[in-house]
Amino acid sequence: MRPSLAALAALIALLAAPASADAEPVSNGDFETGPAIPLANPVYPVPAGNGALTGWSVASGAVSIVTDNYWVPGSGARSIALSGGGPGAIEQSFATTAGASCRLTFWLSGEPFSSPTLKHLLVTAGSASRDYTFDVTPAWHWDMHWQRQSLDFTAASGTTTLRFASLDATAWGPAVDDVRVELLSLGVVPGARLSLAPVAPDPLRGRGRLEFSLASAGPARVTVYDVLGRERARLADGTFAAGPHTLELDGGAWGAGPGLYLAVLEAAGSRLVRRFTVLR
């Protein structure tokens, strides 16, 4: 049965709706999610291999979840001490877009009234790394003098690993809290833009082609739907460089009968739609 124009218009409107914005890529960056910690034991040790630190792995040594019953965190009720009896390290891998410029920010402090007074931290984000120091001289447990720090990095692939490692071989090292990653840019290629060209030829008899272009490197998906909203073919689904790309469109490969179809490009938080007709 031939679909109504109203049904077709509703489908196109649904497919053309903007995609939702990306969420914060770092999981549990404020360290608030995790095991229940009793008031009587406000410092909760987490050794390497223990999964208590939700979203993170303890990569070496041991760290401690420190609650606000011991010192005042940079935000919320918990923070992380990176020297649980010696130098410890935590890490997390999260999704990124190859070529994207990002900024890591976090709060830095250290155990008050401990020696040595200078705490040393190594932060790595992908191929970028930097050493940080914090002087605990002015810090008190009720006023930790947290300092906001940052590290800019460029994502080399679809996954970036973030690592915080103490460089202090003592039981009293650096502390971190409120870890965040924000996107600065997607590495735009001059002149490139997001576009989806009409199917050629249209109407389609047998084989044709479909061209799309990305303004920046990143994930993209090209799907063919029929007018009832059923997916008929996935032409592309992966990470692509900025600029133009050409896809082969073979109606016979996905059993296309005569009628109207929709080619949909999903990329960079947008959806572009092209209608085309298949003839026998």
Residue 243 or 11, more confident: 243
Strands 159-166 and 78-81 turn out to be unpaired
Residue 8 has pLDDT above 80, yes or no: no
pLDDT at 189: 52
Residue 241 pLDDT grade (very low, low, confident, very high; cuts 50, 70, 90): confident
Confidence of residue 255 (pLDDT cuts 50, 70, 90): confident
Distance CA 63, CA 43 (A): 10
**pLDDT band per the 50, 70, 90 thresholds, residue 22:** very low
Q: What pLDDT does 253 receive?
A: 83
In the predicted structure, residue 1 carries a pLDDT above the cut 60: no
Q: What is the DSSP string of 213-242?
A: EESSSEEEEEEEEETTS-EEEEEEEEEE-S
Residues 214 and 210: their CA atoms lie apart, in Å, by 14
Determine the pLDDT at residue 112.
96
Q: Sorting pLDDT into bands at 50, 70 and 90, what band is 14?
A: very low
Of 160, 159, 141, 139, residue with least CA distance to 151 = 160
- The 10s digit of each residue's pLDDT in 164-220 is 999 998 889 999 999 999 877 655 555 567 889 888 898 888 889 999 999 888 899
* pLDDT at residue number 252: 81
Q: Give me the percent of the chain exceeding a pLDDT of 90.
A: 57
> pTM to 2 decimals?
0.62
Q: What is the pLDDT, as a whole number, of residue 20?
A: 37
Tokens of 155: 């994502």
* Residue 240 exposure: Cα atoms within 13 Å on the Cβ side: 24
What pLDDT is attached to residue 185? 64
C-beta pairs of 252-261 under 8 Å, 24+ apart in sequence: 252/206, 252/207, 254/224, 256/204, 256/232, 259/226, 259/227, 260/8, 260/226, 260/227, 261/224, 261/225, 261/226, 261/227, 261/232
The per-residue pLDDT for 12 is 52
Residue 143 has pLDDT above 50, yes or no: yes
Q: What's residue 247's pLDDT?
A: 93
Question: What are the structural domains of the chain?
Answer: 5-21+189-278 (2.60.40.2550), 43-185 (2.60.120.260)
- Bigger pLDDT: 166 or 18? 166
> What is the pLDDT of the chain when averaged over all its residues?
87
Predicted confidence band at 4 (pLDDT cuts at 50, 70, 90)? very low
- H-type helices in the chain, by residue range? 5-16
Residue 21's pLDDT band (cuts 50, 70, 90): very low
What confidence tens digit (pLDDT) does each residue in 86-100 have? 899 999 999 887 777
